[in-house]
Amino acid sequence: MPTIAGIDIGNATTEVALARVNENSVEFISSSIAYTTGIKGTLQNVAGVRRALSLALEKAGWSRDDFKKVDFICLNRAAPVIGDVAMETITETVITESTMIGHNPSTPGGVGVGVGETVSIFDLDMTKPGHPVVVVIPGSVNFEEAAEKINDALSKGIDVRGAICQSDDGVLIVNRLNKVIPIVDEVKAIDRVPLGMQCCVEVAPPGRSVELLSNPYDIATIFDLSADETRQIVPVAKALIGNRSAVVIRTPLGEVKERRIPAGELYIIGPTGKRTINIDDGAKAIMEVAESNWPIQDIFGQPGTNVGGMMERVRKTMSELTGLPLGEIHIKDLLAVDTMVPQRVVGGLAEEFAMETGVALAVMVEAQELPMQKLASAIESDIGVKVEIGGVEAEMAISGALTTPGTSTPLAVLDLGAGSTDASLMRPNGQVELIHLAGAGNMIDTIIASELGIDDMELVENIKVHPLCKVESVFHVRLEDGTVRFFDKPLAPELFGRVALMVNDNFLSPLLLDFSIERIRNVRRKAKREVFVTNALRALKRVAPAQNIRLIDFVVLVGGSALDFEIPNMITEELAKYSVVAGRGNIRGSLGPRNAVATGLVLSSVGRKIL
């Protein structure tokens, strides 16, 4: 009996179904999964295909390099999907009239608000009595010496209103003073704090955040700013919202310079012609224009803008990887989601950020026969096995999903991958309707990374796939749903008081983020709903009879994202509003929602009698 390998190249993983076949039967002997190498549908995928096939051979009891055991490879028709973030406005504000320090040291000293002129602690004794000052204390001065100098100055009538300290000594200093003053400590760039300038220091009581320095009008009152100057100080105030302590220093020399790169316009070309929509209008407006101009023929961005740069990067990247001319790279779909993006405020001394509204975009480049044929030829040359392109994911997924016990036609399948959401509907007569849309698991990663300001994508992936908890003692945690779990053995000391990920029943991974458990959970769930629930409805509407989702009876969820601990429930809950029964698939009765496309490729190849 010949052996066939169905290989599904996805945006994140490559899956293999290995089977012995003849005209009357198919015997699946193994399956495997490996990370996809390079962008889906490009020649870089060859290494990932080789690794995944080697794992399948090993599971079948053969040598990992014994590719001659395989008579034929059936490959999916891969369509690349690329995501990026287009800001509402990309703004770089060079603040020369105000410098700010707005981080959250764990233990600032004292409490209250102090306004005065910045002075070095080494020059404090030369200050005129009665003149309000804020003392700048470098790390070379220890807390005892600093407290002694400030107390000496206070005894001479020098009006010390606050302090800025480089070391983590705020509490130690204020505990030794004869007068309580606000002290912001842990300011690493103490050498950049300008001296002789008007300054305001604010430290909020425990459990509170700064109020004056997070309000542009209070800053205007403190520093006697004009209306134009108040408008320019807004990025400073926004960056200080929610902080326990803050410092704002006005430097009267120089002028504020501002450079803005507009988010720009999208040009969506379809049956109704060229439609224009500005990114500033938000995700809802963008999607309304896209839906009204379906099917999309191409999408462009306004030159010289942020979204224009994104679209050109997509085309250039795909042109370089596929070898196709830029003119033959067409963007056929997009998904837009409103998000928040932290932007660094230039002029800050502690890496301050201001949250700006933005729009996350995922776009899909339609697969072309030429690059896919090149990929098939490259795999055939590398492995030495005949390769044929079998079909697109949506069509193959429905063949694989039908191996789930209890399923039959008519049946709709949602393939929830990393880069795309695919839907297919098989009618009782065998006719298949299918759609391939941009936006899936990778877009959720983009949104989580954007809203939480995380650069480590491995951490982002872990936040996406694991539930949260708050470690309240060395023996118990409070889960994100409010329930409490106790442990027989004490937890690691570094976990105490932290938000952590429940990686498994016995392992917690602490999150070193300055966000509450509620904030992280809300960001994660919002991203999943706005990507997968939105795309599930978009996709099913496209394939449903008369575009009416209520005319679909059953939906099977397959793909890597169908393994998520909350995405299937979100989709099932939403589809219940349309009286649709939905659930996670179980491919071949044992693989869960994985391997649907690879399995379908094998079954499809036998049905087409290509042996």
Residue 539: predicted pLDDT? 92
The per-residue pLDDT for range 350-364, each reduced to its tens digit, is 455 556 677 888 888
For 4, phi then psi, to 5°, come to: -115, 140
The arithmetic mean of pLDDT across residues 483-499, rounded, is 89
The per-residue pLDDT for range 554-609, each reduced to its tens digit, is 899 998 899 999 999 999 999 999 988 889 999 999 999 999 999 999 988 776 44
The CA distances from residue 482 to 487, 510, 518, 525, 568, in Å, are: 16, 18, 11, 16, 21
User: Does residue 264 carry a pLDDT above 90?
Assistant: no
Higher pLDDT, 426 or 88: 426
What interhelical angle do 457-465 and 517-528 show, nearest 10?
80
Comparing CA positions, the residue from 309, 274, 300, 301 lying closest to residue 289 is: 274
Residue 470: predicted pLDDT? 94
Residue 323: predicted pLDDT? 73
Residue 433: predicted pLDDT? 85
Residue 17: predicted pLDDT? 95
User: Does residue 451 carry a pLDDT above 70?
Assistant: yes
User: Cα–Cα distance between 550 and 343 in angstroms, integer?
Assistant: 43
Q: 403: phi > 0 → left, psi -120 to 50 → alpha, else beta; which?
A: alpha
Three-class secondary structure of residue 130 per DSSP: coil
The CA distances from residue 258 to 95, 103, 225, 235, in Å, are: 8, 23, 18, 11
Q: Is 397 exposed, middle or buried (0-12, 13-18, 19+ CB in 10 A)?
A: buried
Comparing CA positions, the residue from 114, 366, 352 lying closest to residue 239 is: 352
User: Cα–Cα distance between 257 and 253 in angstroms, integer?
Assistant: 13
Dihedral angle over CA of 366, 370, 376, 380, nearest 10: -170
Residue 463: predicted pLDDT? 95
Comparing CA positions, the residue from 569, 500, 556 lying closest to residue 529 is: 569
Query: Which DSSP letter does residue 111 get?
Result: -
Three-state secondary structure readout of 158-219: CCEEEEEECCCCHHHHHCCCCCCCCEECCCCCHHHCCCCCEEEEEECCCCCCCCCCCCHHHH
Comparing CA positions, the residue from 125, 104, 95, 115 lying closest to residue 184 is: 104
User: Does residue 134 carry a pLDDT above 90?
Assistant: yes
CB of 134 closer than 8 Å to CB of 118: yes
User: Cα–Cα distance between 388 and 406 in angstroms, integer?
Assistant: 31
User: Does residue 256 carry a pLDDT above 50?
Assistant: no
Q: How far apart are the first and last CA of the chain?
A: 11
